[in-house]
Amino acid sequence: MIRVYRALRRKYAAAPFDGEGAYRYGGRWSSPGIRLSYSSEHQSLAMLEYFVHLDKDDPPSDLVLAIAEIPQDVSREQIALKDLPENWRDPVAPPQLAEFGDRFANRGENCLLYVPSVLAPAERNCLINPTHSDYKRIAMLELEPLHYDPRMFSRSRSSAHR
């Protein structure tokens, strides 16, 4: 089994891997109207991916960590760094990236799409296609409360750590 992680607000956690958010709003790797669930291979990466979108002056107090266990033989594919445009890490995602996820979802051949993380390119995020037949084999574990260390929101840092 492999595990993937997703940080999210508790009010959206009833079905954390259903792809509803990406369906409504799109994401770096998919267009609105495409149902994919964004997750990460590591808890720390999931937290970092969520953290970059937080309002530093008003961090939410209702975060949870959703964890899914995926059998090793669930169908998957991967996007290699060499196949990405030079500007793939730009803060505003180039449209070509959404085309990768859109094609993946529309083909429907595999359940998982591994993509490099913009924040840590040596690590991967995992897009899950909830409409694929293998999706029913993914086990959702119990939600865990998620809290960021308050120092991550501090405006001033101790000079002892510089």
Q: Does residue 154 lie in a domain region?
A: no
Looking at the domain assignment, is residue 160 inside a domain? no
The mean of the pLDDT values for the chain is: 92
Q: Does 156 fall in a domain?
A: no
Q: Is the pLDDT of residue 160 over 70?
A: no
Question: Does residue 29 sit within a domain?
Answer: yes
Averaged pLDDT, 58-82? 94
Rounded to whole angstroms, the Cα distance separating 22 from 19 reads 5
In a domain, 161, yes or no: no
What does the DSSP 8-state code read for residue 32?
Answer: T
**14-60 confidence digits (pLDDT tens):** 999 999 999 999 999 999 999 999 999 999 999 999 998 887 777 78
Q: Which residues contact 105 (CB under 8 A, 6 or more apart)?
A: 30, 34, 35, 36, 129, 131
Alpha-carbon distance 160 to 117, whole Å?
31
Higher-pLDDT residue of 152, 39: 39
pLDDT, residue 158, reads 54
For residue 162, the tally of other CB atoms under 10 A from its CB is 5
pLDDT at 161: 53
Residue type, 4: V
Instruction: Assess if residue 16 is contained within a domain.
Output: yes
- Whether 156 has a pLDDT exceeding 60, the answer reads no
- Please state, for a pLDDT cut of 90, what percent of the chain lies above it: 83
**Number of separate domains in the chain:** 1
> How far does the chain reach from its first CA to its final CA, in angstroms?
41
| Contact between 69 and 138 (Cβ < 8 Å) | yes
| Radius of gyration, CA atoms only, the chain | 16
pLDDT tens, position by position, 6-24: 999 999 999 999 999 999 9
122 confidence band (pLDDT: 50, 70, 90):
very high
pLDDT at residue 87, rounded to an integer: 96
Question: Is position 109 within any domain?
Answer: yes
Cα(128)–Cα(116) distance, integer angstroms: 14
**Domain assignment present for 159:** no
Structure token digits, residue 157:
């840092």
Q: Which domain holds residue 74?
A: 2-54+61-147
